[in-house]
Amino acid sequence: MTILVTGGAGYIGSHAVRALQRAGLPVLVLDNLVYGHRAIVEQVLQAPLVIGQLGDRDLLESVLRGERSASPIQAVLHFAAYAYVGESVVDPAKYYRNNLGDTLTLLEALVAEGRRRGSPVPIVFSSTCATYGVPEQVPILETTPQHPINPYGHSKRMVEQLLHDFGAAYGLPSVIFRYFNAAGADPAGDLGEDHDPETHLIPLALDAITGRLPCLRIFGDDYPTADGTCIRDYIHVSDLADAHLLGLRRVEAEARRLADGGDPATVKPAIFNLGNGKGYSVREVIQAAEAVTGRPVPTLVAPRRPGDPPVLLAAAAAAQRELGWRPRFPELEVILAHAWAWHQRRHPQLP
């Protein structure tokens, strides 16, 4: 049976495809390639790719039945989403249509396919710490109230609600992962972050080092933190990918329980923060980037970026306790070293 990876041509999805392949699991990628990279799937990962829209119900049905793969789809890792916070504010329709509307179509198709075969097709969903908004407490627990402050965060929060309701009503098993700041690159050096436009701190710091950017703007140095810059919890993308294998096992066990006659009324999403539980300020990330690369990061202090909470930090013990997740690369220096190796490979012409 095959694992469907929606958004497998994107940053986190492509690393998850690699983790599945390393575990010997057959994979099918579905991606609309709006932000994803065809070459990463076809050439680097050499995984089968269906180019299409998640909202295309006919396409989804044929994919789930196994008409595009050697075997039917056993479970779904659902990464496909637009993830630019700023864009979501100026074009919320794009975010609700894609992240929410198309995911609703996917969930309906999963329920229908599960009924057809008499056993559920479970899902692991990529959510985000952006669903917490400006948190009432840090470290952030899974039970910390969620108050998103932009359409991107709302769209993810709403899908979480769908998963609650689809679990209770239709017995759809799910795991929800709330990622903190995904960073780094596969240690092999051939997969990594490749956003266009790029908005994230670490790749932009590396761009400033190599001169692709004249300098890195520090968005605010007057926050109520020790050095005045925002604190985030950076988590290695390969560690996120590994968590998905464990999440997959969890939803598959739940699907088997239901197929064996378990009570569908008791189905609810299992929710896990994914972070290291250790925070670094923007200035600390810059210092670490300088130490790892041996080169200076030219910087400029700029105004605060709207919607940036001062501190986001995960309490991630639940994933460790309940799934047995152990991040392999928790050190910021290692995350940066892998990001730097990928950055140099991607831009070989730069100094």
Residues classed as catalytic: 152
- What distance in Å separates the CA atoms of residue 13 and residue 209, rounded to the nearest whole number? 27
- Cα–Cα nearest to 111, from 45, 173, 199: 173
Residue 227 in contact with ligand UDP, rule: CB under 6 A: no
- What distance in Å separates the CA atoms of residue 8 and residue 119, rounded to the nearest whole number? 25
Find the shortest distance in angstroms from Cβ 61 to ligand UDP: 34
Find the shortest distance in angstroms from Cβ 216 to ligand UDP: 6
Provide CB contacts within 8 A for 9, sequence distance 6+.
Answer: 29, 31, 33, 36, 37, 38, 40, 41, 49
**Please, are residues 214 and 163 in contact by the beta-carbon 8 Å criterion?**
no
Segment lying near ligand UDP (by CB under 6 A), choices 22-30, 60-68, 198-206, 336-344: 198-206
**Please, are residues 288 and 234 in contact by the beta-carbon 8 Å criterion?**
no
Q: For residue 147, which amino acid is it? A: H
Segment lying near ligand UDP (by CB under 6 A), choices 100-108, 148-156, 200-208, 338-346: 200-208
Among 103, 144, 150, 181, binds ligand UDP (CB under 6 A): 181
Among 57, 164, 195, 200, binds ligand UDP (CB under 6 A): 200
Find the shortest distance in angstroms from Cβ 91 to ligand UDP: 18
Question: Taking CB positions, which residue lies at the least distance from ligand UDP?
Answer: 230
Residues 9-48, one symbol each (x = binds ligand UDP by CB under 6 A, - = not), give: ----------------------------------------
Q: How many CB atoms lie within 10 A of CB 174?
A: 29
- Cα–Cα nearest to 87, from 237, 281, 307: 307
Residue 219 in contact with ligand UDP, rule: CB under 6 A: yes
Among 45, 216, 311, 313, binds ligand UDP (CB under 6 A): 216
Dig out the tokens for 221 from the structure: 């140095």
Segment lying near ligand UDP (by CB under 6 A), choices 24-32, 66-74, 109-117, 217-225: 217-225
Residue with smaller CB distance to ligand UDP, 203 or 327:
203
Provide CB contacts within 8 A for 178, sequence distance 6+.
Answer: 127, 128, 129, 131, 132, 142, 271, 272, 273, 274, 314
Long-range contacts of 34-37 (CB under 8 A, 24+ apart): 34/82, 35/10, 35/82, 35/195, 35/196, 36/7, 36/8, 36/9, 36/10, 37/9, 37/10, 37/194
**Please, are residues 129 and 314 in contact by the beta-carbon 8 Å criterion?**
yes
Residue 230 in contact with ligand UDP, rule: CB under 6 A: yes
Residue with smaller CB distance to ligand UDP, 25 or 89:
89
Residues 105-124 that bind ligand UDP (CB under 6 A): none
Segment lying near ligand UDP (by CB under 6 A), choices 23-31, 87-95, 132-140, 193-201: 193-201
Find the shortest distance in angstroms from Cβ 46 to ligand UDP: 30
Among 97, 212, 217, 256, binds ligand UDP (CB under 6 A): 217
Residue with smaller CB distance to ligand UDP, 97 or 217:
217
Bridge partners for 113 per DSSP: none
Segment lying near ligand UDP (by CB under 6 A), choices 21-29, 131-139, 215-223, 321-329: 215-223
- What distance in Å separates the CA atoms of residue 222 and residue 315, rounded to the nearest whole number? 25
Residues 289-328 that bind ligand UDP (CB under 6 A): 305, 308
Residue with smaller CB distance to ligand UDP, 84 or 170:
84
- What is the distance between the terminal CA atoms of the chain, rounded to a whole angstrom? 46
Helices and strands in the chain, H and E counts: 12, 13
- For binding to ligand UDP (CB under 6 A), which residues are involved? 181, 199-201, 204, 216-219, 230, 232, 282, 305, 308
